[in-house]
């Protein structure tokens, strides 16, 4: 059990969890910043978590929910206040409604996660600061202490299951719900490089090509929130009728970290999707996570069956060769 102590301080209005792990700080840090990993241990054993947004920068946002054995969802969020790489991060941690909006009827906390190296590995200190004694007592009564112990009992398996984390540089798709898919890839490059490669038209034309044999003939990325974009591809050999393309609108953006867009295939009746892309720095490179929301499960499965992830992998491998 990694948890060494849980200290409730009524005078300071804090709840502090101390835990120790037999891995380096860098490995533990990555586990908290990677949505694929943190969701394996954030919720209690009986209430697994799903992270649909997790942008780890100042001003960033995390949206997640935990699912009960009966299928009921309990939503939460983090607003990222400050982050110092492999040292600490501070978030405002709160409960949310199903649409992600804060549930103001329940308390919020200012929570700091501190990471310290030790001879045997690393130490994690999680300090939750409450606004009142009533708020502290309320979350304790809701089972926060036992829930934290249960959740963290799973983290050691995640840390040891490298699979191999630092060597897993392939594109993978994970079903999050009947309508959502998360496509993830660690790209060996800095966050600034990977972000630029997704926003500079000349760079995009060099790597965003899918399988070999295609060329990007039109690349007009959005420059600001509210702008539309348009991308168009044609085969290097064949007829012009074989082209395809996408268009959409940039809905939200946090530079070098997160953006949300609509996406629709040009000249088709396929319904539009909502795409949320997050760029996260890890010790292995930049983790690109794209959560795609489809109108229904049928559309989701139809798109996945086209070999979408294989085409994306070909593009990301090409991008790495440029970086």
CATH number of the domain within which 254 lies: 3.30.530.20
Q: Tell whether 181 and 287 lie within a shared domain.
A: yes
Q: Percentage of the chain surpassing pLDDT 70?
A: 96
Residues 119-145 as b or e (16 or more Cβ within 10 Å = b): eebbbbebbbbbeeeebbeebeeeebe
- Computed over every residue of the chain, the mean pLDDT equals 92
Distance, in Å, from the CA atom of 264 to the CA atom of 272, rounded to the nearest integer, reads 4
Q: Tell whether 147 and 221 lie within a shared domain.
A: no
Lowest mean pLDDT among 10-24, 123-137, 152-166: 152-166
C-alpha of 289 from chain center: 6
pLDDT category, 165, cuts 50, 70, 90? low
Q: Tell whether 89 and 73 lie within a shared domain.
A: yes
**Token pair for 287:** 């983790």
Rounded mean pLDDT of 152-164?
75
Q: In what order do the strands lie in the sheet with 49-54?
A: 3-9, 14-21, 121-129, 109-118, 88-96, 73-84, 61-67, 49-54
Q: Tell whether 105 and 177 lie within a shared domain.
A: no
Lowest mean pLDDT among 92-96, 233-237, 317-321: 233-237
pLDDT of residue 166 exceeding 60, the answer is no
Q: What SS3 state is found at 75?
A: strand
Report the alpha-carbon angle 289-65-25, nearest 5. Answer: 60
Q: Percentage of the chain surpassing pLDDT 90?
A: 77
Q: Where are the beta strands (DSSP E) in 176-272?
A: 180-187, 214-220, 228-235, 244-254, 258-265
Q: Contact 316/171 with Cβ under 8 angstroms?
A: yes
- The pLDDT assigned to 240 comes to 60
Distance, in Å, from the CA atom of 110 to the CA atom of 122, rounded to the nearest integer, reads 23
- The pLDDT assigned to 1 comes to 57
pLDDT of residue 87 exceeding 70, the answer is yes
Number of C-beta neighbours around residue 264 at 10 A: 16
Domain edge (last residue) among 131, 164, 197: 164
pLDDT of residue 80 exceeding 60, the answer is yes
Question: Domain total for the chain?
Answer: 2
Q: Tell whether 13 and 156 lie within a shared domain.
A: yes
Tokens 């909006």, located at residue = 101
Q: Which domain holds residue 152?
A: 3-164
Q: Tell whether 52 and 73 lie within a shared domain.
A: yes
Distance, in Å, from the CA atom of 22 to the CA atom of 1, rounded to the nearest integer, reads 11
Q: Tell whether 86 and 129 lie within a shared domain.
A: yes
pLDDT of residue 78 exceeding 80, the answer is yes
Q: Tell whether 87 and 65 lie within a shared domain.
A: yes
Q: Tell whether 102 and 156 lie within a shared domain.
A: yes
Q: Tell whether 282 and 199 lie within a shared domain.
A: yes
Q: Tell whether 51 and 68 lie within a shared domain.
A: yes
Q: Tell whether 223 and 198 lie within a shared domain.
A: yes
Cβ burial, residue 202 (10 Å; 0-12/13-18/19+): exposed
């Amino acid at each position: 059990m990694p948890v060494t102590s849980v200290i409730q301080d009524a005078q300071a209005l804090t709840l502090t969890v101390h835990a120790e792990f037999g891995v380096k700080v860098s490995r533990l840090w990555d586990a908290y910043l990677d949505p694929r990993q943190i969701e394996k241990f954030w919720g209690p054993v009986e209430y697994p978590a799903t992270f649909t947004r997790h942008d780890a920068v100042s001003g960033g946002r995390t949206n997640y929910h935990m699912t009960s054995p009966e299928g009921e969802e309990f939503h939460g969020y983090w607003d990222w206040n400050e982050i110092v790489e492999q040292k600490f991060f501070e978030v405002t941690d709160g409960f949310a409604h199903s649409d992600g909006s804060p549930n103001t009827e329940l308390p919020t906390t200012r929570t700091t996660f501190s990471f310290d190296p030790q001879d045997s590995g690393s130490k994690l200190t999680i300090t939750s600061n409450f606004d009142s004694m009533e708020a502290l007592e309320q979350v304790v009564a809701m089972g926060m202490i036992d829930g934290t112990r249960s959740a963290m009992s799973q983290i050691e398996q995640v840390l040891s299951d490298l699979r191999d984390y630092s060597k897993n540089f392939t594109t993978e798709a994970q079903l999050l719900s009947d309508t959502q898919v998360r496509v993830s890839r660690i790209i060996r490059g800095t966050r600034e490089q990977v972000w630029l490669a997704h926003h500079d038209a000349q760079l995009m034309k060099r790597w965003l090509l899918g399988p070999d044999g295609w060329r990007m003939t039109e690349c007009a990325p959005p420059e600001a929130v509210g702008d539309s974009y348009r991308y168009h591809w044609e085969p290097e050999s064949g007829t012009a009728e074989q082209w395809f393309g996408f268009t959409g609108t940039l809905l939200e953006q946090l530079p070098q970290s997160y953006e949300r867009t609509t996406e629709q295939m040009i000249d088709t009746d396929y319904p539009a999707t909502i795409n949320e892309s997050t760029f996260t720095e890890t010790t292995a490179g930049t983790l690109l996570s794209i959560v795609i929301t489809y109108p229904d499960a049928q559309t989701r499965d139809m798109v996945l069956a086209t070999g979408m992830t294989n085409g994306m992998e070909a593009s990301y491998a090409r991008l790495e060769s440029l970086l």
